[in-house]
């Protein structure tokens, strides 16, 4: 018997940086490594700032950025990085986690929705953050590993711009699903870089959005909310 459409599950997709988080976990990871004495501040921060500006402008070269951002992972053991990340979570990330963001996630979970964080930031940085929000599923840009060590390279398609569409399609296909199987599909994001995926869901929501996304949301009568405390 064909399932009644009203009984279908919904899916809720969440961007992470400047959406669920009141800040950027990728950019701040670089600053954290500088403060820990693991990167040279003068050379790293200038490039970090430029890449972040390119991202906001919509002209980020994702592969050049990943070469820059993933290199420090290759210089330390996985055990050391995991311990370092615990400190990063407490000092930097938890102050960025707002009650409004957690309440939004909890509302979707209580409704039985399939909840997924989908972010361009690498999965080493973001997996513990998604877990802290109580979200099991993460689609992030995956750092390459060999013999238990990060290589500094990237594995597969980066979860960025159109790459987010590719990644969610592939992830759902592996589960025997597609986006159209869900009664409602939500995507919460702050960035115009996420427009390719936002245009595909039934319920796109701008969150503390940049000017480009704000204008597009207004033109298309998308809701615009704030998750800041």
Mean pLDDT over 160-179 rounds to: 97
In the chain, the number of structural domains is 1
DSSP classification of residue 29: H
Indicate which residue of 17, 113, 194, 210 is catalytic: 17
Q: Is 17 a residue of the active site?
A: yes
Decide if 69 contacts 25 (C-beta within 8 A). no
Enter the pTM of the model: 0.94
Tens of pLDDT, residues 58-106: 899 999 999 999 999 999 999 999 999 999 999 999 999 999 999 999 9
Give the whole-angstrom CA distance, residue 143 versus residue 106.
29
**Residue bearing tokens 């995991």:** 82
Read off the pLDDT of residues 26-67 as tens digits, 9 standing for 90 and up. 999 999 999 999 999 988 989 989 999 999 898 999 999 999
From 4, 15, 24, 49, active-site residue:
15
Q: Is 113 a catalytic residue?
A: no
Could you tell me the residue range of the domain that residue 44 belongs to?
5-225
Pairwise CA distance, residues 17 & 34, whole Å = 20
Pairing between β-strand 185-189 and β-strand 149-155 as defined by DSSP bridges = unpaired
Burial string for 89-98 (b: 16+ CB within 10 Å, else e) reads beebbeebbb
Provide the CATH number for the domain around residue 142. 3.40.50.1000
Amino acid 7: pLDDT = 58
Task: Round to whole Å and give the CA distance between 13 and 94.
Answer: 21
Give percent of the chain with pLDDT exceeding 70. Answer: 97
Across residues 149-167, what is the average pLDDT? Answer: 97
Q: How far is residue 164's CA from residue 206's CA, in Å, rounded to a whole number?
A: 16
Give me the chain's average pLDDT, please.
Answer: 95
State how far the Cα of 150 lies from the Cα of 71, in Å rounded to an integer: 9
């Amino acid at each position: 018997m064909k399932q009644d459409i009203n009984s279908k599950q919904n899916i809720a997709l969440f961007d992470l940086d400047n959406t669920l988080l009141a800040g950027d976990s990728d950019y701040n990871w670089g600053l954290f490594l500088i403060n820990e004495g693991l990167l040279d501040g003068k050379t790293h921060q200038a490039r970090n700032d430029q890449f972040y500006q390119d991202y906001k402008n919509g002209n980020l070269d994702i592969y050049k950025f990943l070469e820059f951002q993933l290199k420090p992972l290759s210089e330390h053991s996985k055990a050391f990085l995991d311990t370092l990340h615990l400190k990063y979570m407490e000092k930097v990330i938890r102050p960025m986690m707002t009650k409004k963001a957690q309440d939004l996630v909890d509302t979707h979970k209580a409704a039985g929705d399939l909840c997924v964080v989908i972010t361009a930031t690498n999965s080493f940085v973001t997996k513990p953050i998604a877990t802290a929000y109580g979200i099991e599923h993460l689609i992030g840009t995956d750092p390459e590993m060999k013999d238990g060590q990060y290589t500094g390279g990237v594995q597969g398609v980066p979860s960025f711009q159109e790459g987010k569409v590719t990644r969610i399609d592939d992830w759902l296909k592996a589960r025997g699903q597609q986006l159209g199987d869900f009664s409602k599909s939500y995507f919460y994001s702050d960035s115009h870089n996420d427009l390719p995926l936002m245009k595909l869901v039934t319920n796109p929501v701008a969150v503390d959005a940049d000017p480009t996304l704000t204008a597009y949301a207004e033109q298309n009568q998308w809701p615009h909310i704030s998750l800041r405390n």
